Structure 1
Amino acid sequence: MTGITADIGVIGGSGLYSLLDDASGIQQPTPYGHASDSITVGELAGRRVAFLPRHGRGHRLPPHRVNYRANLSALDALGVTQVIAVGAVGSLTPEIPAGSLVVPDQIVDRTSGRAQTFFDGPGAAHASFADPYCASGRAIALQTARTNGWEAVDGGTHVVIEGPRFSTRAESRWYAAQGWSVVGMTAHPEAVLARELGMCCTPLCLVTDLDAGAQSGEGVTHEEVLAAFASNLERLRHLLGDLVKALPEERDCDCAAMKAVIV
């Protein structure tokens, strides 16, 4: 143990490093290997916050190579009980245009081969995951966004694909036909691992593009996604500061009680 602690964790892109004041970078060992990168711990809005770049510095880890178990285990070891998960997503409908902020309430897992539980045996633990995200955190995020003049989309389904390729038009149209809202590559197993640890997980999904089946032209490019995310970075920073301040110091939700235990 390093002696450094935090109660709120932010998982997101490397452009968010400048969030924290009086920050220290630490390597937190875990039973699952190395986290994506060192964790920066510092002050934000009067709270102790740990920031972890999901893909590592320089975006070096593709989504299917992120060590999600190590990331969440490292945050847990630092004392984090509430996680804000920031991610870029594609919209599956023109009604949610680029630049929108979505706070989904559901996930569909279309990944394959990812380690998605801390419980590999012996013994079994079964996490309750009917509602993947913290209800209290979602409500606070929506209100905080509204106060910041950013009317976020309340709810919707985030379909998580394996990546690193983007969807075909046929896949994208199929996802949209199911009534799903946005598509991304990292929300699973991040959210379920947070649930197994009894953490609150609050999603902030920034729409960077219309997915292939929702637009004409040549389809989504990585450069387009990065540019759209960068153009909204300052707005996200302000929102995160206010959200960290608004999250309760004493949790009033059921997430801790849903921590998975071996039966």
Structure 2
Amino acid sequence: MIGLVGIVVVFAMVFGGYSLAGGKFGIILKALPFELMMIVGAATGAFLIGNDLSVVKRTARDLPKLFRGARWKPDDYRDLLCLLFELIRLNRQNPVEAEQHIEAPQESAIFARYPRILADGEAVALIADTMRSAAMNYDDPHQVEEVLEKRMESATHDALQPSHALQTVADGLPALGIVAAVLGVIKTMGSIDQPPEVLGRLIGAALVGTFLGVFLAYGMVGPFAARLRGVVEEEAQFYQLIREVLVANLHNHATNICIEVGRQNTPEPFRPSFAELEESLKSLRPEAA
């Protein structure tokens, strides 16, 4: 919602200010379809040239995030800590039973209690792979920690590719606006024998290209790229939380301590209070009280 408000503010301030200053929209509206065709069309073509099909598809899939925001909400962070608590405690009490949940998460009664997490393949795989590594009796937990860090760096790098692609388009839009403006000047020079009022309209139409390139770059596509990058980085914190809790488990800290490490590392806007999380953990099993 806040993104839509921002778009409205941008258009209202730019075009409202132009109108209040006495600007006329006739020249802009007449030139707009052709300038948009040149600038947006060229930007789209450059985007396709500079990215492979997977990045193009991922960008199209990620665009709704600009307005929807990150997928993980405060309840999801609390549920994640509860899920990890159940798995870690069961793994210490009955490793054989825990292995069944880890090897077949889709059939697990524990995972089934957290459908939003279960629906995310990366989160489930990260939990299962890390707990499977713990069962291998690594001599040095730092080995697993390093593997997890590299895995998440790679996943974040891939997830940020649409943002980088959009930022590249934003960087090129002012230059494409100049290209459209130069073509407008060429058209104007072909009509140099026309009266001043005609030349004025032609020059004004040419300058619309420069305006659109800069406006789209810094008023629309650039902020879109920044917003998408922020959403991806926010979502990555969810997986970082999995890493923190499971690495604490590898160091053989008490189960409650592992979960508290996760709670403390939860981003502040999503962090459950100690009492709230304690109440949720107690509700899992009566004997946990």
TM-score range, shorter chain: under 0.3
TM-score, scaled relative to structure 2: 0.23
CA radius of gyration, larger in: 2
More strand by share: 1
More helix by share: 2
TM-score, scaled relative to structure 1: 0.24
